[in-house]
């Protein structure tokens, strides 16, 4: 599978790059994608939710009324979960949502995400970019030249470039990552994926 290479002005160059069919040309595995995205979102949860139960509510332990003779149901504590101001019955407790996945499954999920985007013509390959200064204006000009204004864009660079990252971080719909730090959720969440020319080989090496 061949892809044309764009320059920093958004113009197609004479060069092209071959994208591996083992990654960009496979049949996407939906269940692998589901599991990897589920794990990503679960591992981001803090799990610090907590509500007070009956034993943690401040209040008197005095019996509210006598056991018999009132005509109503018996009641022993103002802290009961059935009363207003009482404790929460079976409320949330702090817990860890993390779970692990097999590395081969995670690789399959990433390959499937790339293949899904490639089928929908949502992948662009671009010459390796760098800015002399970390200016958001320069990055916005780049996005405009590629006609990607108001679209969610994921840039995958070959290696960490401070000026490119700093220039992009004020743009809400743009995310810049390196070839060794992207995930399935980011790939699927973006409308367009822009691969730096140097990142293509790194991605193929990591996923194969």
Task: Work out the number of other CB atoms within 10 angstroms of the CB of residue 92.
Answer: 11
pLDDT at 162: 87
**Rounded distance between C-alpha atoms, residue 36 and residue 23, angstroms:** 16
Pairing assessment for the beta strands 174-178 and 123-126 based on DSSP bridges: unpaired
Specify the pTM.
0.82
Contact between 6 and 126 (Cβ < 8 Å):
yes
pLDDT for position 71: 93
d(Cα 200, Cα 194) in Å, to the nearest integer? 10
pLDDT attached to residue 194: 93
**What residues does each domain of the chain span?**
2-45+97-207, 48-96
HEC profile for the chain? CEEEEECCCCCEEEEEEECCHHHHCCCCCHHHHHHHHHHHHHHCCCCCCCCCCHHHCCCCCCCCCCCCCCCCCCCCCCCCCCCCCCCCCCCCCCCCCCCCCCHHHHHHHHHHHHHHHHHCCCEEEECCCCCCCCCHHHHHHHHHHCCCCCCCEEEEECCCCHHHHHHHCCCCCEEEEECCCCCHHHHHHCCEEEEEHHHHHHHHHHHC
pLDDT for the residue 11: 83
In angstroms, rounded to a whole number, what is the distance separating the alpha carbons of residues 65 and 78? 11
Tens place of pLDDT per residue across the chain (208 aa): 788 888 888 788 888 888 989 999 999 999 999 999 999 999 999 999 999 999 999 988 899 999 999 999 999 899 999 999 999 999 999 999 999 999 999 999 999 999 999 999 999 999 888 888 889 998 898 898 888 888 999 999 988 888 899 989 889 999 999 998 899 999 999 999 999 988 999 999 999 8
What is the pLDDT at residue 149?
87
Query: What is the CATH T-level fold of the domain 2-45+97-207, as seen in this structure?
Result: Ribosomal Protein L4; Chain: A; (3.40.1370)
């Amino acid at each position: 599978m061949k892809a044309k290479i764009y320059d920093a002005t958004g113009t197609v160059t004479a060069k092209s790059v071959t994208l591996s069919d083992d990654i960009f040309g496979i049949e996407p595995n939906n269940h692998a994608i589901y599991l990897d995205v589920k794990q990503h979102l679960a591992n981001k949860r803090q799990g610090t939710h907590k509500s007070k139960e009956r034993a943690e509510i401040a209040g008197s332990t005095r019996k509210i009324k006598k056991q018999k003779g009132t005509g109503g149901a018996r009641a022993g504590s103002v802290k009961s979960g059935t009363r207003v101001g009482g404790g929460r019955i079976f409320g949330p407790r702090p817990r860890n949502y993390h779970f692990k996945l097999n590395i081969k499954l995670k690789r399959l999920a990433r390959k499937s995400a790339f293949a899904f985007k490639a089928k929908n013509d949502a992948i662009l390959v671009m010459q390796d970019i760098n800015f002399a200064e970390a200016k958001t204006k320069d990055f916005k000009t780049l996005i405009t030249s590629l006609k990607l204004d108001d679209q969610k864009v994921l840039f995958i660079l070959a290696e960490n470039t401070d000026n490119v990252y700093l220039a992009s971080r004020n743009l809400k719909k743009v995310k810049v990552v390196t070839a060794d730090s992207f995930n399935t959720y980011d790939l699927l969440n973006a409308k367009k994926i822009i691969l730096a020319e140097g990142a293509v080989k790194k991605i193929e090496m990591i996923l194969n």
